[in-house]
Structure 1
């Protein structure tokens, strides 16, 4: 089954420079897509502050949305609804084709869920997964386990400084600590300490399990 992803920009109406925020998101998506291939359709702006994309499997989708969040600058963040199920299109005389199918309905359900969590008791929540009605029991169990882990992962990323996110991104794609230290103008020891104190090492290890394609 395909994996549909719907993303929106958190607090887009409150951004001082909405165009700059949109540009930052699109640049983060392009960078993440280059560093983690596997998108059947890259996250692409649709209307307003929303983007939609399709991924080959759940692992790639989870890895991709993590990289997007880590690549964003301070003041700009995204929510992600991930839907597991068939995706397709229907013809439209006005725009050619419209995305359609159970995967998209599940993704919409997921982003509504994470929006609700963020507004209530889990302010750091940014990502949720939902399975369509056609998913089997094993896939539904996978979804429950993924969501449990995502709550913790998102909490850590939401609390990170911009530097911690940059370093975490670098480690996820295999950049040595020495090179990261040089790019930040700090010592390797400082990089190591920040990775440890921010929880980045756990995120990087998790990324290796879900984000690698080989």
Structure 2
């Protein structure tokens, strides 16, 4: 099983400085990979506002993409289409081209995100589609994961930039005291922010995905 991810930038045409935004995206992806290297091929710009990446396992992709969401500042965000299926490379005079059912599924997934954003779920940012030929367990795994992602995206979308930073810090194992020093606030203020943002649910979710929960 291969996990293909297509990402595009939310509101890319409305960004005041597209070059600066891309630099922030590149730095964020590199930082996430340095803090917790999970990608087989980290998200890399391809054309326009699109990025592509590959993960070995669905849980790796879900954790890594959450970290990217948490790390990005206000005003810059990705939407993600996750495809489960085989991927391949097609040789051309311009280099290797990504191909295969995993990529087709990822594109179908990001189309679903766009559709949900435009209707009743404007906070949707992530969706999963399985390519044909998955085993009998995968459809229920995808359905449960998509239900989780809808709620997760709403929770992250409601956070302030500081709350996302604090949640990210706790996810990578930093103490509340360290985070308080970075933010110039007290440790009780960090605790209060994490509690009001619902960070514990996100962190427990990550632990469950990684098999670390009790």
State the partner residue of 2:83: 83
The alpha-carbon deviation at position 199 of structure 1 amounts to 1.1
Q: Report how many aligned residue pairs link the two structures.
A: 212
The alpha-carbon deviation at position 212 of structure 1 amounts to 6.9
The alpha-carbon deviation at position 79 of structure 1 amounts to 0.2
Please say if 1:127 is aligned against 2:126: yes
State the partner residue of 1:167: 166
Q: Tell me, which stretches of 5 or more residues in structure 1 are unaligned? A: none
The alpha-carbon deviation at position 18 of structure 1 amounts to 0.9
- What CA distance in whole angstroms lies between the structure 2 residues aligned with 1:212 and 1:60? 11
Question: Aligned ranges for residues 1-214 of structure 1 at < 5 Å?
Answer: 1-93=1-93, 95-211=94-210
Map Cα deviations across residues 106-153 of structure 1 (whole Å, 9 max, x no partner). Answer: 100101001111111111110001101011120111000000000010
Q: Tell me, which stretches of 5 or more residues in structure 2 are unaligned? A: none
The alpha-carbon deviation at position 211 of structure 1 amounts to 4.6
- What CA distance in whole angstroms lies between the structure 2 residues aligned with 1:131 and 1:42? 20
Q: Which moved more, 1:133-142 or 1:147-156?
A: 133-142
Say if 1:211 and 1:11 are closer, same or farther in 2 by CA, change over 3 A.
Answer: farther
- What CA distance in whole angstroms lies between the structure 1 residues aligned with 2:154 and 2:167? 14
- What CA distance in whole angstroms lies between the structure 2 residues aligned with 1:20 and 1:45? 14
The alpha-carbon deviation at position 28 of structure 1 amounts to 1.0
Say if 1:26 and 1:198 are closer, same or farther in 2 by CA, change over 3 A.
Answer: same
Runs of 4+ in 1 over 3 A off after TM superposition: none
TM-score (ref. length: structure 1): 0.96
SS of equivalent to 2:5? strand
Map Cα deviations across residues 159-210 of structure 1 (whole Å, 9 max, x no partner). Answer: 1101000001011111111111111111111111111111111111111222
- What CA distance in whole angstroms lies between the structure 1 residues aligned with 2:64 and 2:195? 22
TM-score (ref. length: structure 2): 0.96
Q: Which moved more, 1:56-65 or 1:35-44?
A: 35-44
- Aligned-pair Cα RMSD in Å: 1.2
